[in-house]
Amino acid sequence: MVITKPSVPVIDAITSRRSVRGYLPDPVPAGTLEQVFEIAQQAPSNCNTQPWKVYVASGEVKDRLRDQFLERLDQGVAGQPDFSYVSTFEGEYRQRQVDCAVALYNEMGIARNDKPGRLRAVRRNFELFDAPHIAFLGMDRNFGATISLDVGIYAQTLMLTMHAFGISSCAMGSMRTYPDLVREAFGLDDSTGILLGISFGYEDPDVDANRTRTVREPLANSVVFRG
């Protein structure tokens, strides 16, 4: 296929991308979607195994999945993620987790002790932030942490490519909660595990949550140079 690449320097894309949690209903044109995913296929992986399995839900398929997610959430059905994960962090990681939540809740007008407000914010995930599309990223269930690195690298490659095309996104670990519904929607057998979702589409600038900005640690807290 002929790819019409937008010209966005990679550093600009990295530094200006941010998570978007409120979208306009307009779908991304099919040709653009194909180009974006074609480019993201260039992500590197261990021995070029390309372990990512990507399932993109749009239109009625996406609406049905969203409704099923919400039904389960509202009935208090416990999640059954395919892979073990950490949800509550400790120490410095906990502090960053709290700072991130506070930044979002502040923009959404949710006070710290506003439990219904916080539940509403969680529910927004399962409403898919009103995105017209959601991509589910998975891999063979038998692959462990090392191979999931490849899927993580793919995820960022995909989000940066989208960003270069003017498409906003949000990585969503919350989309690990009910993987059986994703498998059902795409006719997958049990061998594929779902690692995360990425909601995407065109940003709705009027959504309060989209004013959220996060910061990063000073370099010395993450990177060590020697010699």
| Shortest distance, position 103 Cβ to ligand FMN, whole Å | 8
Element (H, E) at 29: none
* Contact predicate 133/57, CB 8 Å: yes
Residue type, 85: Y
| Shortest distance, position 197 Cβ to ligand FMN, whole Å | 8
* Contact predicate 53/137, CB 8 Å: yes
Q: HSE on the CB side for 138, CA within 13 Å? A: 27
Q: Is 164 in the site for ligand FMN (CB under 6 A)?
A: no
Alpha helices in 169-211 (DSSP H): 179-186
Q: Is 148 in the site for ligand FMN (CB under 6 A)?
A: no
Size of the site for ligand FMN (CB under 6 A): 12
Contacts (CB under 6 A) with ligand FMN, residues 194-213: 196
Q: Is 61 in the site for ligand FMN (CB under 6 A)?
A: no
Q: Is 160 in the site for ligand FMN (CB under 6 A)?
A: no
Q: Is 173 in the site for ligand FMN (CB under 6 A)?
A: yes
Instruction: List the helix and strand counts (H, then E) for the chain.
Output: 7, 4
| Shortest distance, position 110 Cβ to ligand FMN, whole Å | 13
| Strand ordering across the sheet containing 53-58 | 53-58, 133-140, 192-201, 168-172
Q: Is 128 in the site for ligand FMN (CB under 6 A)?
A: no
Query: Which residue in the set 172, 182, 188, 207 belongs to the binding site for ligand FMN (CB under 6 A)?
Result: 172
* Contact predicate 219/47, CB 8 Å: no
Query: Which residue in the set 139, 170, 182, 188 belongs to the binding site for ligand FMN (CB under 6 A)?
Result: 170
Q: Is 214 in the site for ligand FMN (CB under 6 A)?
A: yes
| Shortest distance, position 76 Cβ to ligand FMN, whole Å | 18
146-156 in b/e form (b: 16+ CB < 10 A) is: ebbebbeebbe
| Residue span binding ligand FMN (CB under 6 A) among the ranges 29-37, 72-80, 86-94, 164-172 | 164-172
Tell me how far apart the alpha carbons of residues 27 and 202 are, in angstroms, rounded to a whole number. Answer: 8
Query: Which residue in the set 161, 168, 174, 177 belongs to the binding site for ligand FMN (CB under 6 A)?
Result: 174
| Residue span binding ligand FMN (CB under 6 A) among the ranges 32-40, 51-59, 136-144, 166-174 | 166-174
Chain residues in the site for ligand FMN (CB under 6 A): 18-19, 21, 100, 125, 170-174, 196, 214
